[in-house]
Chains A and B, each alone.
Chain A
Amino acid sequence: MTLKIRKAVVLGAGVMGAQIAAHISAAGIRTWLLDLESEEPPKDPKIAKAVGKNFRSSRALLALEGLKKLKPSPLMLDSIPDSIIPGNFADDLSVIADCDWVIEVVVEKLEIKKAIHKRISEYKRPGVAVTTNTSGIPLNEIVADLDESYARDFFGTHFFNPPRYMNLLEVIPTNRTDGQLFAAMSQWLSETLGKGIVVANDTVNFIANRIGVLSLQSTLHHIQDLKINFETTDLLTGKLMGRPSSGTLRTMDVVGLDTCAHVAKNVYDKATDDPLRELFAAPSWMARLITAGALGQKTADKGCFSKVKDSKGKSEILAYRPESDSYEKQAPESFPWLADAEKEKDLIKRLTIILEQDDRGSELVWRILRDTFSYSAMLCNEIASGEVKRIDDAIRWGFNWEMGPFELWQSLGFEKILTRLKKDKALLPDWITAGLAFYNPAPGSAAAEVGGYSEQYHSTLRKMQKLKEESYKYRLSNRESRDDKRVVLSNKAASLLNMGDGVSLLVFHTKMNALDMDLLELTQKALEATGKNFDAMVIGNQGPAFSAGANLKMLAEFIEKKNWDGIDQMLRTSQGTLQMLKYAPFPTVACPHGMTLGGGCEVSLHTSHRLVTAETYAGLVEVGVGLIPGAGGTKELALRAYDAAMGGEKTDPTSFIQKSFQLIAMGQVSSSGYHARAMGLYPESRTLVTMSREHQLSEAKDMARFAVRMGYLPSSPRSGIKVLGDGGLNTFRMALYNMVQGKMISPYDSFVGEKVALVLCGGEIEAGTPVDEAWFLDLERRAFIELCQQEKTKERILFMLANGKPLRN
């Protein structure tokens, strides 16, 4: 069953409804957003003016307006609110008849939900999916009064907030839902909306919030008993345990203590037979904070922690002390093993170090794991129909843990953990027996990373069950890619893999995939090998970032030794490699995702094609460390501008050069893959955007194959580019001078800005002089080295290395 979903309507323009509409619209679906009609124009004259004649739809209109103010931004492009059509329940419900998906996100009250579905049923075409987004109401009750044909098309969704950024989307069928439609919709939601889909049963809080909140509640319970303060708790339950660095209590502050309490209370009230029900009761201090209105981030940063300013105006974060009901200076406890554990990058080895200790810190980590493992096993049948992978996926995607509970248990040693669980008399279902494996191949193994899990344990069938092969997900090994049979070439920084069908894949695997000399060397070899043995090359990876830039540490060492020749050589290698990439006789497809900054961005500017994920934050940010893009990036943005001005032959290139100048001199970073295109970083013609991170590499391979089939024509190095020259440069100097006078930038910002302008304008030569591409590269190198020789650039680089953020000097 293939679905054609081109139009969708979201009913309910609350914060969640509007954000869901924005996400669907970004995926290219024509989207309506409806809410209750307003009988009269808004009272505030400003709002009334903004709403205009369409005041009956002012709820939806204002919700769309509100999207612009939300942080983090739900909008992949600023234009998205304008592309969503606002409407109201009284006048516009008939659009439902025209839509291919109806999404109900109205308030969480059964009677209201029932009523709106009754009205939807008057318009909806049979066979069109209708979903309810909920986290608390039993689904069957919503459609209890509706006929079978409607109920067949109905199921639940549970988007995590914020829906753009949270990967998890739980989908919940009822016993009346049509299985074929449900499966087709699930696949569509995964591919088109790029979401991580987990099928959940209609049980209290579904999967992620049931298990995840148990883990939070267990933490709250045990820290009281073990007398561990809040800051130590967050230290122990954050990165050390493979969970978000905000730990437990800071995370609760971000979510809101009231929301956390509400979700926990939901289990306590409704799941009366829950095996660990008592843990879901809120501790007394939490109730006290909620009553006092200290709910966390949303209440002036006062909750489990409180952000205050000291007498000098410096902000400080104090921690709550339940025993004295007051905020105090943070005093995180230290443990003798802490430094060793923090140094260990591998989660399993790290947890093994921690669990071997015998103190309160180690005990807390164990008890949280113990409760989580025990609870996940006890509930697996009920909430996940016995499929362990559903629970692991939900927790990884919804709570951003590195590994789900079953994966973690197996990796830590099934028997070892089981023995300890039994010793603690932890509750366990009878299907947990000696010799069990939850997955095959083992989690974390190279085989699992490359091929995914082929089998999972099924706790109702009580045996291993084969998993469907997800052929469209091209997987890479995170650790030992040299062991991978697909590897053609490899060194410690990068590898070339054979993707099959004549396409090679260049993978970076340095820290944050930063560029260094080894990486460039392998890139050159990869280009040679691809030229000989393949038709096209993809550059991509599945790390946290496509590439966060160049290795600054290496550059800092050159600067320290005043080794300017060394820097020159490094730049020549970088520029030379990317020129090889640009003029390769075969198509090359870059796959930017996440951070694609500095040198990493320069790589993606030099390929013939790009397949960018929606969540791509790309930019040439070198000015932040007092440098300019020196691997050909400044040159590329100059060429782009002169091309747009038709080579400067008849059209004045100034405004195009200004745009390139802004991108580099202001270090602009895209807020999405779509934005990277719209802001002029990536050319529209050979850049596509995909919503799905998981499918990116496979789609890139298709894109490469397509380019080959269409008869790829490589370009050749450019000449005869008529530059703006000295006049253009001095126009930029004029603007920079005024910005310094207006105290908008520092004199050194201006100095760096002049270097950007120097390269973009083609140097201090006569306007209109024709130059070639190599001239820009020479200018880029000279300017880069001159900047390296400045004390203030050195300060910026050292500050960035020490603090991870730019210095304004």
Chain B
Amino acid sequence: MKAVYLVSPLRSPIGKAFKGGLATSRPDNFCADVVRAVVKQAGDFDPGLIEDLILGCAMPEAEQGMNIGRMVGLLAGLPETVPGVTVNRFCSSGLQTIAMAYERIASEQADCILAGGVESMSAVPMMGHKIVGSRKIMDTRPDMYLSMGLTAENVAEDFKITRDEQDEFSFESHRKASKAIAEGMFHDEIVPIDVERRRPGKNGQVIVDTMKFAMDDGPRADTTLEALKALRTAFKMGGSVSAGSSSQMSDGAAMTLVCSEDFVKKHNLKPMARFLGFSVAGVPPRVMGIGPIEAIAKVLKRTGLKLSDLDHIELNEAFAAQALAVIKTVGLDPKKVNPYGGAIALGHPLGATGAKLVATASHALKRNQGKYGLITMCIGTGMGAAGLIERV
């Protein structure tokens, strides 16, 4: 297997769905902005050499339909010869695409691929615009349709995660994220997006407001533990999961250039990390949040690394309940998990999340001079994914 490198992993700032910085922007547009920035930052090479653009998206329809992978490449101004594809494994899509690029390059089927993910939850809601239930599923496996919030309730019950623990975890997520933003920790990984808003002016004239959206708008520096404790449960009467201990709905995009060693050397590129391996695993849909438990074990076994080798862990906080169940069961070191906050504060743009966490982990390893990083998340209908990177 050949070594595979990540060059200039970058992301957009993450905006709150419906009211945040990207709420009125099209996902194909802001993802193309990130692609342009990645290619530009990677170095001086011919973009015509990019052999594919693999883009993850969890709800690929409407504004993010029409094979958005191909649309984004053309919008970004890549040569028409660079093809594009859209890949969907829900919340791990953005990591899955990097893994697919890694597999093609490691097996010498390609040298340079753009991979990442995008999601506008403002544009396309969870489950898409048109939901049509299946009689067969309802008659035989209705748990396939269990809402994500209820799976978190099941995890909280099975793993005995209390309401207090969830609220404290969520409060910490906001505190860490707010601190990271205040200290400029995301500055290097974020591509500011030019946002345009159109509104009616006088005499039928359209007023175009432009602004630069440069920083995640999800974290609430002013939230308190008491405020979180006071929230009502959102999914189950008498349950423990509230909106405050769930990930935020968000808009965002993240991309990286994935290259072979030869390509890196030939074009004098400066990779940030080496991609070491990737695993996915299936778990019961009723407790989909525990997916990372299986996926982490698999990827460590395949790569021969131990938990203690890890310096930085990005565990997607779909829900505080599942994140805590994963941390406790796997025995992750809480200090290494999401030191800059997680999706409860920073947001979870479904299909973009995997690539966004890769960008954050790569930059954190560089900043802190760590060696190994783990990126992992749970996936709806009962799966987990995990990827490993090594700083170079």
| CB-CB under 8 A for A734 and B150, given A727-B133, A742-B235, A744-B237 | no
- Which B residues touch A733, using CB under 8 A? 133, 138, 142
A742 to B150, CA, bound (A): 7
Q: Given the complex, which residues of A lie within 8 Å of B145, measured CB to CB?
A: 734, 737-738
Within 8 A of A (CB), among B226-244: 235-239
CB of A452 within 8 A of chain B? Answer: no
Binary contact track B128-151/A, C-beta < 8 Å → 1, others 0: 001111110110001001110110
Judge whether B130 and A654 touch: CB under 8 Å.
yes
A160 to B133, CA, bound (A): 53
**CB-defined contacts of B235 to chain A, threshold 8 Å:** 742
The B212-265 residues at the A interface (CB cut-off 8 A) are 235-239
Task: Return the contact of B133 from the options A652, A731, A741, A743 (Cβ within 8 A).
Answer: A731
- Minimal beta-carbon separation of A750 from chain B (angstroms): 11
Please report the C-alpha to C-alpha distance between residue A99 and residue B232 in the assembled complex, in whole angstroms: 46
Q: Are A742 and B133 in contact (CB under 8 A)?
A: no
> Which of A652, A728, A730 contacts B138, CB < 8 Å?
A730
A733 to B132, CA, bound (A): 10
Contact partner, A652, options B130, B134, B137, B238, Cβ 8 Å: B130
Contact A730 B132 (CB under 8 A): yes
Q: A737-B138, A738-B145 are in contact. Are A731 and B237 (CB under 8 A)?
A: no
B132 touches A728 (CB 8 A): yes
Shortest Cβ distance from residue A56 to the other chain B in the assembled complex, whole angstroms: 28
Cα(A652)–Cα(B128), bound, Å: 14
Q: How far is the CA of A348 from the CA of B242 in the complex (A)?
A: 59
Is A726 part of the contact surface with B, judged by Cβ < 8 Å? yes
Task: Determine the chain B residues whose CB is within 8 A of the CB of A731 once the complex forms.
Answer: 131-133
- Say yes or no for A397: interface residue by CB 8 A criterion: no
**Chain A interfacial residues counted at CB < 8 A:** 19
- Of A652, A732, A733, chain B has the most CB atoms within 10 Å of the CB of A733
Would B142 and A743 count as touching, CB distance under 8 A?
Answer: no
Contacts of B150 in A (CB 8 A): 738, 741-742
Min C-beta distance of A242 to chain B, whole Å:
44
Among B130, B135, B146, contact of A738 (Cβ-Cβ < 8 Å): B146
Contact present for B133 and A734 (CB under 8 Å): yes
Contact across chains for B236 and A729 when beta carbons are under 8 A apart: no
Number of interface residues of B (CB under 8 A): 20
Interface positions, chain A 415-460, Cβ under 8 Å from B, are none
The number of residue pairs between A and B whose CB atoms lie closer than 8 Å in the complex comes to 57
Chain A residues whose C-beta falls within 8 Å of the C-beta of B147 in the assembled complex: 738, 741-742
- Measured between alpha carbons, how far is A656 from B147 in the docked complex, in Å? 23
Interface contact B131-A741, CB-CB below 8 Å:
no
Q: Within 8 Å CB of A741, what residues of B?
A: 146-147, 150, 236
Smallest CB–CB gap between A643 and chain B, Å? Answer: 20
**A637-669 contact mask (Cβ, 8 Å, vs B): 1 or 0:** 000000000000000101000000000000000
Q: Contact at A743–B131, with CB atoms within 8 Å?
A: no
Contact of B132 with A727 in the complex, beta carbons under 8 Å: yes
- A734's partner among B138, B153, B239 (CB-CB below 8 A) is B138
Closest to B136 in A: A730
Residues of A within 8 A of B142 (CB): 733-734, 737
Q: Give A669 to B137 CA distance when docked, in angstroms.
A: 34
Query: Whole-angstrom distance between the alpha carbons of A187 and B336 in the complex?
Result: 78
Distance (Å) between the CB of A808 and the closest chain B CB? 12
Known A737-B145, A738-B147: A730·B134 in contact at CB below 8 Å:
yes
- A732-B133 CB under 8 A given contacts A737-B138, A737-B145: yes
Closest Cβ of chain B: how far from A154's Cβ, in Å? 45
- A716-760 contact mask (Cβ, 8 Å, vs B): 1 or 0: 000000000011111111100110011110000000000000000
Contact of B237 among A737, A743, A764 (CB under 8 A): A743
Of the listed residues A728, A741, A743, the one surrounded by the most CB atoms of chain B closer than 10 A to its CB is A741
- Docked Cα-Cα span, A726 to B147, in Å, equals 21
**Please, how many angstroms separate the alpha-carbon atoms of A764 and B138 in the complex?**
13
Q: Which residues of A contact B138 (CB under 8 A)?
A: 730, 733-734, 737
**Contact status A730-B238, CB under 8 Å:** no
Residues of B within 8 A of A732 (CB): 133
Min Cβ gap A479→B in Å is 49
Given contacts A726-B135, A730-B138, A734-B138, contact A742 B237 (CB under 8 A): yes
Hey, what's the 0/1 contact readout for B257-299 against A, CB within 8 Å counting as 1?
A: 0000000000000000000000000000000000000000000
Is the CB–CB distance between A743 and B236 below 8 Å? yes
A805 CB, nearest partner CB in chain B, Å: 21
Identify which of B131, B133, B236 gathers the most chain A CB atoms within 10 Å of its CB.
Answer: B133
B236 (CB) vs chain A CBs: closest residue: A742
Alpha-carbon gap, A44 to B153, bound state (A) = 36
- A729:B133 contact, CB within 8 angstroms: yes
Cα of A742 to Cα of B147 in the assembled complex, Å: 9
Chain A residues with CB below 8 A from B149, complex form: 742
- The 8 A CB mask of A653-693 against B (1 = contact, 0 = none) is 01000000000000000000000000000000000000000
CB distance from B285 to the nearest CB of A (A): 12
> B153 to chain A: which residues have CB within 8 Å?
742
CB distance from B189 to the nearest CB of A (A): 34
CA–CA, A741 and B239, complex, Å: 11
Distance between Cα atoms of A730 and B146 in the complex (Å): 14
User: B132, B134, B150, B235 — which one has the most chain A CB atoms within 10 A of its CB?
Assistant: B132
The 8 Å CB contact of A730, one of B130, B135, B237, is B135
A654 to B149, CA, bound (A): 23
A744-B232 Cα distance, complex, nearest whole Å: 13
Of all chain A residues, the one with the shortest Cβ separation from B234 is A742
Q: How far is the CA of A64 from the CA of B237 in the complex (A)?
A: 32
B375 to chain A, nearest CB (A): 30
Closest CB in chain B relative to A728 CB, distance in Å:
7
Q: How far is the CA of A727 from the CA of B137 in the complex (A)?
A: 11
CA gap between A729 and B135 in the complex, in Å: 8
Q: How far is the CA of A728 from the CA of B138 in the complex (A)?
A: 12
Q: How far is the CB of B298 from chain A (nearest CB, A)?
A: 29
Chain A residues 687-728 with CB under 8 Å of chain B are 726-728
| Chain B 59-87 interface residues, beta-carbon cutoff 8 Å to A | none
Whole-angstrom distance between the alpha carbons of A733 and B238 in the complex?
23
- CB closest chain-A residue, reference B238: A743
Q: How far is the CB of B152 from the nearest CB of chain A, in Å?
A: 11
Chain A contacts of B239 at CB under 8 A? 742-743
CA distance A730 to B145 in the complex (A): 11
Rounded to whole angstroms, the CA-CA distance of A730 and B142 in the bound complex is 10
For the complex, give the distance between the alpha carbons of A741 and B153 in Å: 10
Which B residues are in CB contact (< 8 Å) with A738? 145-147, 150
A731 to B127, CA, bound (A): 12
Closest B residue by C-beta to A744: B237
**Which residue of chain A is the closest to B129 with respect to CB atoms?**
A652
- Return B35 CB to nearest CB of chain A, in Å: 33
Select from chain B the residue with minimum beta-carbon distance to A725: B132
CA distance A118 to B245 in the complex (A): 59
Please give, as numbers and ranges, the residues of chain B lying within 8 Å of A737 by CB-CB distance.
138, 142, 145-146
Alpha-carbon separation in the docked complex, A733 to B239 (Å): 22
A730–B238 CA distance with the chains assembled, in angstroms: 27
Residues of B near A734 (CB, < 8 A) are: 131, 133, 138, 142, 145
From residue B124, how far is it (CB to closest CB) to chain A in Å?
A: 15
Residue on A with the closest CB to B237?
A: A743
Contact with B along A2-26 (1 / 0, CB 8 A): 0000000000000000000000000
CA of A655 to CA of B66 in the docked complex: distance in angstroms? 24
Q: How far apart are the CA atoms of A734 and B147 in the complex, in Å? A: 9
A729, A731, A742, A767 pick with most chain B CB within 10 angstroms: A742
* C-alpha gap A733/B131 in the complex (Å): 12
Could you give 11 example pairs across A and B, Cβ below 8 Å?
A732-B133, A734-B131, A734-B138, A734-B145, A737-B142, A737-B145, A737-B146, A742-B235, A742-B236, A743-B236, A743-B238
Beyond A726-B135, A767-B132, 12 additional contacts (C-beta under 8 Å) are: A654-B130, A727-B132, A728-B132, A730-B133, A733-B138, A734-B133, A737-B146, A742-B147, A742-B237, A742-B239, A743-B236, A744-B236
**B residues near A, CB below 8 A?**
130-135, 137-138, 142, 145-147, 149-150, 153, 235-239
Nearest 4 Cβ contacts at the A-B interface: A730-B133, A731-B133, A727-B132, A743-B237
